[in-house]
Structure 1
């Protein structure tokens, strides 16, 4: 059914509008759309970003031809959005600020995430676009600890949770605002994708935070890791989940958790890399810190604070809804981690010794 839906949508000739195309998920999503023959329109903050998007597509082996167009529009300004939405069949709103260092104030993240989402949805509604698919995060679902540690789409992170990072709070408040707007105003469908930690092949020269984690392990920058478990999902599968959510009739008004399978620990990730990249074995994390050690380290090291807040819990994150409603079939976690590393090697990362993956 999904394949036929894609063919029918492509035949209609109405473009899919994508925000955040310069990002990790955005690059894969645009590549997938074009690979399926769907006309695609991308918003960029400034014209010079067009070249970066085209270079990413080139690394993915995608030749867009006349199927790709660009419009300049920013999440913090109304200018350009009416033009961006003109004639659009669906909107994939992937853009949201993600800092590599903590912001000075929470509002630096919350305001553009929340206001940008509302601006995109309002512009789509005004243009009579039938549906917006918004990228949220597991950060909006499962960062308020539950006794049973089991999470589904019905769960929400409490933005007042003690120690909640500003990024996580921004995702909660932006998604809440989006749902409130659509319920109050009507006239447009909203579907939301809530991925866990996104890994997988790197297409650009700016690795994501998750790919940076794999790089750090492979280059000996993490001799030890805190006890910490998290969901993992492949970036290609998150792109696929967005396409399914934008077309399936039953996706309207729904959230979909994106997770490949059982939660993985940082030390478990190191062991996957150790098995497949023996040349890096000596520099990969050799020990997992205990929770007591993590709590003590977090007093002086900000990098350990999230692990200390999570207290070694092992979240059980359900992907049943995405599988049963949308027919989604994610890859195995180990394959995703290995593919992440192999893409970094292809981009020039040199491992200690002479080995390549086995």
Structure 2
């Protein structure tokens, strides 16, 4: 059993990664920007089924050097899951790009100095399939987003430049330390608390009936439990060293298809879920007044699917169907009272 550092321990993916590590008997250490959240994280882990939330917490922030050397000291592996997220629907380059890239380099330097065997970076499909003319049937791990391409926002730039910086650092200055990257699409699955990620908030929006109809927007889905499993395999499997892995349960789905899945799987609890798809011209009209619709306009009709063949072939990874991930999300939101059942 190994000692593993997980950065950004209060996050949705990080909490599920810690759950899997604890299940496997590993010793877990996690970083938090504020140690005052430690009990909240322990409660999340207990909600997720941990028999004992035995986690050691260290204070460390992506924007500062303090605390990283102490957090990495004596660990065998690092799961670098932490990433800055915008407070609103769209952050700026200043809020996202610098902290993501520089924070990743801080973690990698601390890991190298501590003699860590391998770092697994939680990247994103955002670093794979954006900034290109749409049309590729499926993106794979050889693809990279163009940070200066059309329709690229600060979040996509942050994930792309942070992952690029990680590979460049390990190639030039890693000193034998290994690196692997996990690139999830939209991450769904059971919430462990009421602090929701952007993907889970989208399901809340559908269940609450906030949207009269769904815009013609598409994205891939993957269950957070499968993302956590892929992190563990990327941490220990010899074949994962030096590799990126797309985490997706299948081809991209439309919001309309997701709404239909919720209606079919939840019955009366999905009574507020929109039934119809909104014409593009109407989305553009509504976007003049609603920020949520405005964010959808650049994505209308664009289908970006990703291949999970590499993770299956090299690591034996087998994700749940997207319907299962989506329904697990909805059921957990109802259970926590985030939306009415």
TM-score tier after normalising by the smaller chain length: over 0.9
| Counterpart position of 1:160 | 148
- Contact kept, 8 Å, 1:103 with 1:109, in 2: the verdict is no
Contact residue 40 and residue 68 of structure 1 kept, 8 A = yes
How far apart are the structure 2 equivalents of 1:68 and 1:27? 11
Which secondary structure state, in structure 2, belongs to the residue aligned with residue 314 of structure 1? coil
**Alpha-carbon displacement from aligned partner over 1:52-81 (angstroms, at most 9, x marks no partner):** 11111121121336x421112221221221
- Kindly tell me: are residues 102 and 334 of structure 1, through their superposed partners in 2, closer, same or farther at Cα, counting changes over 3 Å? closer
CA distance in 2, matches of 1:303, 1:171: 22
- Structure 1 match to 2:123: 136
1:33 and 2:21 correspond: yes
> Partner residue of 1:342?
331
TM-score normalised by L of structure 2: 0.94
| Shift, 1:102, TM fit | 4.2
Q: CA RMSD in A?
A: 1.8
Structure 1 segment 9-48 matched on structure 2, within 5 A: 10=1, 14-48=2-36
Stretches of 4+ aligned residues off by more than 2 angstroms:
102-105, 144-150, 290-311, 313-316, 349-352
**TM-score, with normalisation over the residues of structure 1?**
0.90
What is the CA-CA distance between 1:304 and the residue it aligns to?
A: 3.2
1:293-308 matches, within 5 Å, as 293-298=282-287, 301-308=290-297
Aligned to 1:127: 114
Shift of 1:264: 1.1
Tell me the residue number matched to 1:150: 138
Counterpart selection for 1:279 from 268, 288, 291: 268
Give the match's secondary structure for 1:226.
coil
8 Å contact kept, 1:223–1:283: no
Query: Does the residue aligned with 1:316 lie in a helix, a strand or coil?
Result: coil
Deviates more, 1:220-229 or 1:273-282: 273-282
Q: Residue 289 of structure 1: CA displacement?
A: 1.8
Contact 2:219 2:305 in 1 (8 A): no
Worse-superposed segment, 191-200 or 213-222: 213-222
SS of 1:194's equivalent?
strand
Alignment of 1:71-110 (within 5 A): 71-102=58-89, 105-110=92-97
CA distance in 1, matches of 2:27, 2:216: 45
Distance 1:186 1:312, change over 3 A: same
Aligned-pair CA distance for 1:281: 4.6
3-state SS of 2:105 partner: helix
Q: Which residue of 2 aligns with 1:221?
A: 210
Single out whichever of 234-243 and 308-317 deviates more from structure 2: 308-317
CA offsets per residue over residues 305-344 of structure 1, 9 Å max, x none?
Answer: 4533234132231000000001100001111111111111
Aligned residues: 339
Structure-2 change in CA distance of 1:301 and 1:90 (3 Å): same
1:233-248 to structure 2, matched below 5 A, reads 233-248=222-237
* Separation of aligned partners in 2, 1:272 and 1:299: 30
In the TM superposition, what is the alpha-carbon distance from 1:103 to its structure 2 partner?
A: 5.5
Q: What secondary structure is seen at the aligned counterpart in 1 of 2:45?
A: helix
Q: Deviations over 1:219-254 (max 9, x none)?
A: 111121110111100000000000000101111111
1:92, distance to aligned residue in structure 2 (A): 0.1
Where in structure 1 are there 5+ consecutive unaligned residues? 1-9, 353-358
User: Do the aligned partners of 1:100 and 1:209 also contact (CA within 8 Å) in 2?
Assistant: no
- Decide which moves more: 121-130 or 146-155: 146-155
Does 2:107 match 1:117?
Answer: no
Contact 1:50–1:70 (CA under 8 A) maintained in structure 2: yes
Q: 2:219 aligns with which of 210, 230, 235?
A: 230
- The 5-angstrom pairing of residues 254-265 of structure 1 reads 254-265=243-254
Q: Is the 8 A contact 1:227 1:288 kept in 2?
A: yes
Q: Distance in 1 between matches of 2:206 and 2:121?
A: 31
Counterpart CA distance in 1 for 2:287 and 2:137 is 22
Gaps of 5+ in 2: none
Give the match's secondary structure for 2:84: coil
Cα gap change, 1:333 to 1:46, in 2 (>3 Å): same
